[in-house]
Each structure stands twice: as C-alpha cells, then as structure tokens.
Amino acid sequence: MLNKVMLSTESRMRGDMQVRFGGRYGKTYCRKAVRRSVPSLRLGKGGGIIELAAHLYATDHVPYLLERIAEQTPHVHPVSFSFGKQDSFGPSFQQLEIVPLSSPALLSYLQGRGINLELAKRECSEARYTHNGKRYFAIAFPNGSGGFEVRNPYFKGCIAPKEISHIRQAGKARTACYVFEGFMDYLSFLTLRQESCPNYPELDGQDYIALNSVSNVNKALYPLGNYERIHCFFDNDHAGMEALRQIRMEYGRDRYIRDASQIYSGCKDLNEYLQKQVERKRQLQSAKGVRSQSPEKKSGFRL
C-alpha cells in the first residue's frame, strides 16, 4: 500500500503522470504534456518505493528518502531504520554555514579527481553543518534557486531546493551554452581547458548549465532556447543519451546541438577522462625522471 500511495502522490505532485491502480496488477499511464518535453520515469527498471524515491530525489541516502516519503504520505508512517555509516552523512543540515572552500580534506578530494584547485575555489563554496550532534563539511556548488549541490568523499546530495545551475557570463549575451550533468564534470571541463590553453583558456566565451541530475533536463529546456549552439557533455550511458535526445527533440531543427561525449568515448564521463589524462601525464613525467637519472654510457671501444 505504501508503494501505491507514494507513486500516486508523487505523480500528482509532479504533474507529469496519471496513475490508476486496479485489479490484481496496477497500471500506470503517462500523460503527454502539450508543447513541451517531459522526461519519462519509465526507465525499464524495477524495484520498490525506495528505488523510486531515489530516482525522483536524485540521491541514494535512505534516511533522507524516508523523510520525503513521510512528507508525501502523511497517513502512512514508514518504519524507522538505522543504517550505520550512512546515518552519519544524512542531508539534515542543521547549523548550516556556507563559507569559502578551504578544507584540506575537501581540496585533497578534488585534487584526487584531477580538478584545478584555484578553479574549484572560485566556483564552489564549503558547507559546514551539524548532523546528530556532529560537525561535517562538504563541497557546495550553488544552483539557481538558492540551494546547493553538496559532495564529499562519503556523501553526495543537495541542500534544497533542487535546481539547475545556470552560469551566465557578464557583458554581451553569449550565443553558445555548454551543458553538463553535474558540477564535477563542469569543473573537469574548466580544468581541461585551463591546462590545454593556460594563456588563453577562453573560459568565458560561452555560458554553462549544470543539470545537477539528468532528471532536471526539462528545467534546462527553456533557458537553452536563448542559445544558437548547445554543446552537451553528458555521461556515456543510457541516461546521458536520453537527456541529449530530449534536447534534440526540442531544438534539433533550428539549433546546432553537439554531442561532445565523443571526446571522451571509452570513459564513463568527463571527470573520468580528466583523471586518466592526469595519470598519463604523471606517468610520462615519472618516465622522464627515470631517464634523466640513468648514468650516461661511456664512449669509446669496449675491451
């Protein structure tokens, strides 16, 4: 019963589905929106209510999902669970502070993923908060509605409200926009551009959008209408291709839409590509160091 109530409530709240339960098996019908693209929740995946809520709220933190389920189903009280380590990093942000990014642990985490630290400090902040009486901190990337995407080595979530991040350049309106699934890919792009063109990286030659979840692609469709060229740096998976398809359906006839994932084919996403580039560069430098330390061979005849 809880599964049915949750699905029905979510469907009415989001306005993009109609749900009917009847007979032995429940049947679900998706209502086609008029003149706009709506992402389908029909992903070919099965599961219970937790799996559904994880997709809708773009997080896999179970205590947080149970709270959202309880809010949407006030007459159904889910059982209280304890999840050990997960409970230490729940999105119950008490005594929240947003400060400049400076934590050595967070900077080390970003560096381990190949991110340029100066760029990270410019684009991100640091969230410090209390949960269950303990203090924690995470990287905080702002979105367009006053919320933040938050991440540390052990937790990935958001400070509500969930929204896309639209980074507009100052001055003359740009004609191109680069779109990323999340802020880590956005930072990866900035890092790669900075490394390849350190003197003239041209980071401000275009605007940027971080979806902060592929389920937010419909929220990006309206602002993308202001651009002549759209470059999509999505993950090399089904969800990424589906997001690209939706943008092409909306603007493919009168906009230039580029699938930039071909640049990092063979990698899951742009950040994985960046990490491989960093590792390859490290190996080359290490090999050069070994050669420079090798003793020179003496010239002349061998006896």
For residue range 76-126, list pLDDT tens digits in order.
Answer: 434 333 333 434 344 578 999 999 999 999 999 999 999 999 999 999 999
Asked if 94 and 131 count as a contact pair (C-beta separation under 8 A), the reply is yes
The pLDDT value recorded for residue 286 is 85
Residues 108 and 172 occupy one common structural domain: no
Residues 234 and 172 in one domain: yes
Span 53-67, mean pLDDT? 68
DSSP state of 84: G
Select from 101, 107, 108 the least CA-distant residue to 123.
101
The residue segments making up the domain with residue 152 are 91-159
Helix axes 62-72, 2-14, angle to 10 degrees: 80
The Cα–Cα gap between 26 and 43 comes to 17
Among the candidates 47, 81, 115, a domain finishes at 81
What is the pLDDT at residue 82? 31
Bridge partners (DSSP) listed for residue 210 = 165, 180
Higher-confidence residue: 235 or 36?
235
151 lies in the same domain as 169: no
Q: Considering the domain boundaries, does residue 298 fall inside one?
A: no
Query: What distance in Å separates the CA atoms of residue 268 and residue 241, rounded to the nearest whole number?
Result: 12
Give me the pLDDT at residue 131, please: 86
40 domain residue, yes or no: yes
The verdict on residue 297 lying in a domain is: no
Is 45 in the same domain as 118? no
**Residue 286 covered by a domain:** no
Please indicate, yes or no, if residue 277 is contained in any of the structural domains: yes
Taking only the tens place, the pLDDT of each residue in 130-150 is 988 899 999 999 999 999 999
Residues 152 and 249 in one domain: no
Identify whether residues 49 and 142 lie together within a single domain.
Answer: no
Half-sphere exposure of 164 (CA within 13 A, CB side): 21
- H helices, E strands: number in the chain: 9, 12
Q: Please give the pLDDT value at position 81.
A: 34
Question: In this predicted structure, which of 8-17, 102-111, 178-187 has the lowest mean pLDDT?
Answer: 8-17
Tell whether the model's pLDDT for residue 50 goes beyond 70: yes
pTM (two decimals)? 0.68
Which pLDDT does position 289 carry in this prediction? 72
What CATH number does residue 196 fall under? 3.40.50.670
φ, ψ dihedrals at 208, nearest 5°: -135, 150
Instruction: Please tell me whether residues 51 and 75 are part of one structural domain.
Output: yes
Q: Residue 50 falls within a domain, yes or no? A: yes
Cα 197 from Cα 215, distance rounded (Å): 33
pLDDT at residue 215 above 80?
A: yes
| Residue 118 sits in the same domain as residue 146 | yes
Task: Return the higher-pLDDT residue of 269 and 3.
Answer: 269
* Helical spans, DSSP H, in the chain: 2-14, 49-57, 62-72, 104-112, 117-123, 183-196, 217-224, 238-251, 270-293
Residue of higher predicted confidence among 303 and 217: 217
3-state secondary structure of 213: coil
Same domain? 119 vs 46 = no
In three-state form (DSSP H/G/I as H, E/B as E, the rest C), the secondary structure along 246-297 is HHHHHHCCCCEEEEHHHHHCCCCCHHHHHHHHHHHHHHHHHHHHHHHHCCCC
Does residue 287 belong to any structural domain of this protein?
no
Q: Is residue 186 part of a domain?
A: yes
> How many folded domains does the chain comprise?
3
Q: What is the mean pLDDT of the chain?
A: 80
The set of residues, in sequence order, having a beta carbon less than 8 Å from that of 209 and lying 6+ positions away, is: 164, 165, 166, 167, 177, 178, 179, 180, 220, 223, 224
Pairing label, strands 256-259, 229-233: parallel
Question: So what's the pLDDT on residue 245?
Answer: 97
Would you say 188 and 271 are in contact if contact means Cβ atoms under 8 Å apart? Answer: yes
Region 29-55 average pLDDT: 54
Residue finishing a domain among 37, 53, 81? 81
Angle between helices 270-293 and 183-196 (to 10 degrees): 40
